[in-house]
A = this chain, B = another copy of it.
């Protein structure tokens, strides 16, 4: 970027003013927004849903291939996804960031452009936050607040035996997007100046860099009077998430490999890299799709929606958590999701 304004030239309060000067309130429930000790919300007659996520440079993202605008967008999305996973509608976020002095005001502007784009698209108000220095790296902490009609929230722990297991969208592409970006980073570092060869893999790269949250699925539930029996968002891979549902619901499950939705371009690219596309879907993570269970009686309501795949069903706990492969073999599901501490 051509211009570079030092953050110290604005000071903390000047920076906050600068970053929030075009911040507009969209929701009637937002009474007091940015600029006081706290925000005030009025979710009259609704229950309030709260979730929070931290994103740390070098752990959750790499600024070598993550544009700041995409990062701002994604840091909002991953939190909204958690709100939708409760069958709730996000209304507000707080955004706290810590950054070292290598960041300029222009860089933060780019980041906030993504934050505001996500807020606009999902009709969410930015109501507060904190800005701080860091000794090293960029750290993001978002809290999202949503609302849900009383007792219409959906937990992880309430799946019942016989329920159908469903997922939205397709799985595994975000992991493949990350894989290609990591590969090209390595090539670039080894042979400086070589331009990355992204092989027109816009779909999988987009799935990683600029995920969306499944607002449409929650709206489909409301329009069709469906309340899932349990729900979770897929951030660590299908396998890890269904194991959460089964553990908390005290059930088992059967998933069918052939039913797991994988995008065609993702599948082709996985074969090219000699990775199993099913492994990407089970353990890849970062898809931000919804995994949910429904009563069998709701089958007819679901089947018309092309964005939803039925991938298995809930069984007794003693039967364990199983995957039936295309070849007809049965494997125990294990959580190989990304573990930040290993």
Contact = CB atoms under 8 A, between A and B. Distances in A.
A273 to B, nearest CB: 27
Contacts of A45: 44
A127 interface: yes
A200 interface: no
Contacts of A137: 134-136
A41 to B, nearest CB: 4
A93 to B, nearest CB: 10
Contacts of A59: 98, 132-135
A82 interface: yes
A148 B36 CA distance: 15
Interface string A175-188: 00000000000000
A217 interface: no
B54 A98 contact: yes
B15 A54 contact: no
Nearest to A46: B42
B39 A51 contact: yes
Nearest to A41: B48
Contacts of A145: 48, 50
A146 to B, nearest CB: 7
A330 interface: no
A53 interface: yes
Given A8-B341, A139-B98, A146 B48 contact: no
A47 B31 CA distance: 9
Interface string A130-144: 111111110101011
Interface string A57-75: 1111000000000000000
29 contacts: A8-B342, A10-B341, A11-B341, A12-B341, A32-B86, A32-B153, A32-B155, A36-B157, A37-B86, A38-B51, A38-B82, A38-B85, A39-B49, A40-B47, A40-B48, A40-B50, A40-B88, A40-B148, A40-B153, A41-B47, A41-B50, A50-B145, A53-B96, A54-B98, A58-B135, A59-B132, A96-B141, A131-B340, A132-B340
Given A96-B141, A131-B340, 12 more contacts: A31-B47, A36-B155, A37-B83, A38-B88, A40-B48, A42-B48, A54-B96, A54-B130, A132-B340, A133-B340, A135-B137, A139-B139
Top 5 nearest A-B pairs (CB, nearest first) are A38-B51, A141-B141, A37-B85, A37-B82, A41-B48
Interface of A: 7-8, 10-12, 15, 31-32, 35-45, 47-54, 56-60, 82-83, 85-86, 88, 92, 94, 96-98, 127-137, 139, 141, 143-146, 148, 150, 153, 155-157, 231-233, 248, 339-342
